[in-house]
Amino acid sequence: MPDTTGDTTGSAAGGTTGPLAGVRVIDLSSMMAGPHCARLLADQGADVIKVESLTGDHMRNLRPRRKGQSRFFGQLNVGKRSVALDLKQPRGHAALMALVSRADVVIEAWRPGVAAKLGLGYEDCRPVNDRLVYCSISGYGQQGPDAGRAAFAPVIHAASGYDMAMLPYQAPGSPPPTTGVYIGDILGGTVAYGSVLTALLRRDRTGAGGRVDVSLVDSMMSVLVYELQAVQAGITDTRVSHPPLPTLDGWIAVTIVNDTGWSAMCRAMGRPELAGDDRYRDIGARTEHWDEMQATMAAWSRGLSTDEAESRLLAAGVPAARHRTPADLLDDAHLTGRRTFPQVADAAGEFRAMSAPFRIDDAVTPAAGARVPALGEHTVEVLESVAGLPAAAVREMVDAGIAGVQGS
C-alpha cells in the first residue's frame, strides 16, 4: 500500500510503525469529519501532515481548553504533524503542491468548488501525482442541486431524515430532537476512513489513484435501514420501541426481542408466570400488549437502585445496561481494562483521548504518549524533508509570513 517518495523517516508525530506505515496523508480539513478520518489513519501509522492556515484550525479555539490548548482539537488531531501555510500566496501554494506530489492521500472538507478555486482540486492535484487518492468530504456530495449548500452536523441530521425518523419515539407533540452530539461528522469521518483504505487497496491492484466523494447526508441516511424500506412498503405505523426503565436513582435500558429474552426478564422480576401469560406468549402477543408489558417492567425497576436492577437483569441473562454519563465512562472498569482511553499529550500536559474503536492484534491506538501538534510545529522539517525545499527558501517563507512556525 505505501507509495510515498521523498522522506519516509517519519517523525514523533508521523508514525513509522503500524499497518499504514509509509502512507503519507495531507490533511487539508478542519472541524470534525475530515480530521477524524485523518486521525484514524494516523492511528494506524500513516504520516498525517495537517496543513493549516497561519491562524490555525478553528477547532484550536474551542473548549474544553487547558492552558490555551483545546482538548476538543486534540482528540481529533493527536498523532499528526502540523504545517502552517498561506495557501493564497504563490509560494505557499507551490509548497503544498510539492507535498501533494509526494503524498498518497489528500483529504479536504471544503464546500464543493472551494478547493478548485484555490487551485487545490482533484483536477489540479492529479497531474502532479496520478496515483493520488483524493478524498472530498462534504455535506451533500460533489454533484447535485444541493451540492453547494453549507452543512454542519445539526443540518445534516435534519436533511438526512434522521431527526424525523427519531420523532415518533419522542413524547407526543415534541418537535424534532435537538442535536447536541454530532453523529453526522464522526460517522462521515469514519465512512471516509474506510473509503480511503478501499481506494488505496484498489490503487495497489490497478496502479490508479482516484477521487473519493463522501457525503455526510448519505452517511447519515445509511443508518435508516428499516425506515427507508418501511416507507417503500407502505408501512406507516411506528415500530415498537424500548424506552428506558426508571430506577430509584437513574435509568436502565432493556431490550426484549425474543421469547428467550422475555423469559429471562420474567425471572429477573421474580414473576416467571408472566412468561406463559397469553398476553406475552410470543412476539406477536407482546407487540399487541407492548405498552402494558413496558409498564409492568417499569413498575418493577422503579423500586430498585440502578445497581440492583442491572445486577438482577444481567444475572438472569437479560440484555441490559444502565444509562451512563461521559464521566462514568472514564472510570469504567471494563473500558479501563480494554485501554479505551490512552494517555496522550499536548503543550498543556497529558489527557485521556478516545482510542480508535477497533483493535488489530490487540494494539491500542493512538499509542500512549502520542502528541497533539502545536500550530506550525513541523513546518520547517516537513517543507525541507518532504517537500524538498532548501532551508534558505523555507526561512524566507517564514520571514515573509507565508509559512508559520510554532510560536510565530
What are the pLDDT digits (tens) for 252-285? 999 999 999 999 999 999 999 999 999 999 999 9
Query: Taking all residues of the chain, what is their mean pLDDT, rounded to a whole number?
Result: 95
Distance from C-alpha of 302 to C-alpha of 46, rounded to nearest angstrom: 50
Task: Report the alpha-carbon distance of residue 251 to residue 182 in Å, rounded.
Answer: 23
Same-domain pairing of 118 and 147: yes
Which of 217, 102, 95 minimizes the C-alpha distance to 157?
217
| Boundary residue ending a domain (322, 356, 390) | 322
Mean pLDDT along residues 227-239: 94
- Would you state the pLDDT for residue 255? 97
For residue 256, being part of any structural domain is answered with yes
Would residue 238 count as lying in a domain?
no
Residue 45 predicted with pLDDT over 90: yes
Range of the domain at 283: 245-322
In a domain, 233, yes or no: no
Contact present, 216 and 138 (Cβ < 8 Å): yes
Long-range contact set of residues 368-371: C-beta below 8 Å, sequence gap at least 24 = 368/342, 368/343, 368/344, 369/343, 369/344, 369/345, 370/13, 370/78, 370/79, 370/342, 370/344, 370/345, 371/12, 371/13, 371/78, 371/79, 371/344, 371/345, 371/346
User: What pLDDT is recorded for position 134?
Assistant: 98
Contact between residue 91 and residue 402 where contact means Cβ atoms under 8 Å apart = yes
188 plus 94 within the same structural domain? yes
Q: What percent of the chain has pLDDT over 90?
A: 93
For residue 366, is the peptide bond before it cis, meaning its omega torsion is within 30 degrees of 0? yes
Domain check: are 186 and 315 in the same one?
no
Let me know whether 37 and 166 are in one domain.
yes
Residue 9 lies in a domain: no
- Residue 353 in grid coordinates: 483521548
> What is the model's pLDDT at position 407?
74
Average pLDDT over residues 129-148: 98
Q: Does 250 have pLDDT greater than 90? A: yes
**Residue 232 maps to a domain:** no
Residue 399 lies in a domain: yes
Confidence of residue 240 (pLDDT cuts 50, 70, 90): confident
pLDDT of 5:
43
Please indicate, yes or no, if residue 372 is contained in any of the structural domains: yes
Beta strands in 3-146 (DSSP E): 24-27, 47-52, 65-66, 69-70, 81-85, 105-108, 133-138
Do both 253 and 356 map to the same domain? no
CA distance 249 to 239: 29
Are residue 120 and residue 197 in the same domain, yes or no?
A: yes
Residues 114 and 168 in one domain: yes
DSSP 345-356: EETTEEEE-PPP
Q: Is 36 a catalytic residue?
A: no
| pLDDT value for 204 | 97
Phi and psi of 160, rounded to 5°?
-80, -10
Query: Which carries the bigger pLDDT value, residue 357 or residue 238?
Result: 357
61 with 169, same domain?
yes
Where does the pLDDT of residue 15 fall: very low under 50, low under 70, confident under 90, or very high at 90 and above? low
The domain spanning residue 281 has which CATH number?
3.30.1540.10
Of 36, 157, 242, 289, the active-site residue reads: 242
> Same structural domain for residues 269 and 218?
no
In a domain, 334, yes or no: no
Query: Between residues 113 and 8, which one has the greater pLDDT?
Result: 113
Does residue 65 carry a pLDDT above 90?
A: yes
User: 313 and 166, same structural domain?
Assistant: no
Mean pLDDT of 364-368: 96
Q: Are 42 and 19 in contact (CB under 8 A)?
A: no
* Residue 385 belongs to domain with CATH number: 3.40.50.10540
* Domain count across the chain: 2
Domain limit, last residue, from 322, 353, 376: 322
Considering the domain architecture, whether residues 369 and 286 belong to the same structural domain is answered as no
Q: Look up the pTM and report it.
A: 0.94
- Domain endpoint, select from 322, 355, 390: 322
Whether residues 37 and 91 fall in one domain: yes
List, for residues 93-110, the tens digit of each pLDDT value: 999 999 999 999 999 999
